[in-house]
Amino acid sequence: MKLRHMLLCTAGCLLAVATVAAQDPVKVDPTHYKVETENAQVRVLRIHYGAHEKSVMHSHPASVVVYLSDGTIRMHMPDGKSQDMDAKAGQSAYAPAGVHNPENIGDKPFDAILVELKSKAAGTPAKAEKK
């Protein structure tokens, strides 16, 4: 009985750690992330950071980002490393699923649209509607 209790506690702790590492940005940082639209295939987020604003650690599934303004963003990673990236208005980029904490290190506001791809729908053709 003791071993079973220890295994259940360990599993619960691991699940809690995984949940903390994979937080939904809309729930943990509604100041910077707003849902524009959502369906079975995608969720579209509007992202806005003021100058020098930082988020909290969160995750996204595989996504496509469209930059609405120029900016320099520092991506802080869970392992403590960080990477700076320059964005140019009008550019778009694919981003694999991941966990990060973005920070606008520029002196101007930064805006983007993020299209999160839902894994169940990725690569699956839509069913034709019946008339």
The whole-model pTM stands at 0.75
pLDDT band at 119 (very low <50, low <70, confident <90, very high): confident
Nearest Cα neighbor of 92 from 65, 74, 61, 113 is: 65
CA-nearest of 118, 113, 123 to 33 is 113
The pLDDT of 76-99, averaged and rounded, is: 97
pLDDT band at residue 18 under the 50/70/90 scheme: very low
The runs of H, that is alpha helices, within the chain are: 2-21, 25-28
33-60: average pLDDT:
97
Reported as a pLDDT band with limits 50, 70 and 90, residue 125 is low
Domains along the sequence of the chain with CATH = 2-117 (2.60.120.10)
